[in-house]
Amino acid sequence: MEKEPMQIKIGNINCSLISAGSFWVDGGAAMGVLPKTIWRKFLKVDEKNRIELALNVLLLQTGKLNILVDTGIGNKISEKIRKIYQPSDFVLLQNLVNLGLNASDIDIVVLTHLHFDHCGGTTSIFNGKKVLTFPNALHIIQKREWETAKNPDELDKASYNFAEDLALLETTGNYRLIDGNYALTKEITLELTGGHSEGMQVVRIESNGKLAYYAGDIIPMDANRHLSVTSAFDLNRKQTFLAKKKILQELKEKKGILFLNHDTENEIVVFQ
């Protein structure tokens, strides 16, 4: 899924929503309690009842920093994962090049959480060796998400497939663990929400009176803007509901913009 990036300016911040590819998941799991009789009206399914999910990552450019939010699945997929999720080619790096950036130009990588479809692109196979995809970047992760990913229980372990990536980050030291809300810059804030995972965080951008959110898997698709529509993958559905309600209320009040990380058709929602 190599698509032209969606570009928009939020005050002083240049925002580009970039494709890192796509993959397929069970439609019922993605839509949670919403019956298939409803969601099949607006989502296409394959013969295995799967729907295609985009892997849209966000590039924020402040003039001094190139900040990447999430990294997609990456290029080191096991045969088991490939059969289950049928991921497309990892196109993130080429799409960055199309914007005039190399992987070495990324200063900060924010990982909303450590499920494989959001952090798999953090490392890559190069000349048969696993390396950091963004070697000069500081990777920012919630402490509780890091701890869960390193020691997942039976409920979580299927979603945390890249524990060796964390080991590489530890070896290089290219990471920072945070605990709660965190001001990345004066205009970009990371907000801990929980809900989808223990350490789920969203990105809030507010600059010159303009507001935007990259809500990750709190609001992954346009259909998830309905408060009751949460994914079966959510660890704590009530926390997801509350975080979503707060984000949507602020976006409506301030006529902001919502970036959607898994929607293949509606990547950006503009609130009027």
**Averaged pLDDT, 216-243:** 95
Q: Write down the pLDDT at residue 80.
A: 86
Instruction: State how far the alpha carbon of 272 is from the alpha carbons of 70, 186, 214, 256, in Å.
Output: 27, 25, 18, 8
pTM beyond 0.85:
yes
Instruction: State how far the alpha carbon of 185 is from the alpha carbons of 100, 107, 189, in Å.
Output: 23, 13, 7
List, in order, residues 6 or more apart from 212 with CB less than 8 Å away: 8, 10, 15, 204, 205, 206, 256, 257, 258, 259
**Averaged pLDDT, 134-146:** 98
Q: Write down the pLDDT at residue 203.
A: 99
Residue spans of the domains in the chain: they are 6-270
User: How many percent of the chain have pLDDT more than 70?
Assistant: 99
pLDDT tens per residue, range 160-216: 877 778 899 999 999 999 999 999 999 999 999 999 999 999 999 999 999 999 999
**Averaged pLDDT, 222-249:** 95
CATH number of 6-270: 3.60.15.10
pLDDT tens per residue, range 75-122: 888 898 899 999 999 999 999 999 999 999 999 999 999 999 999 999
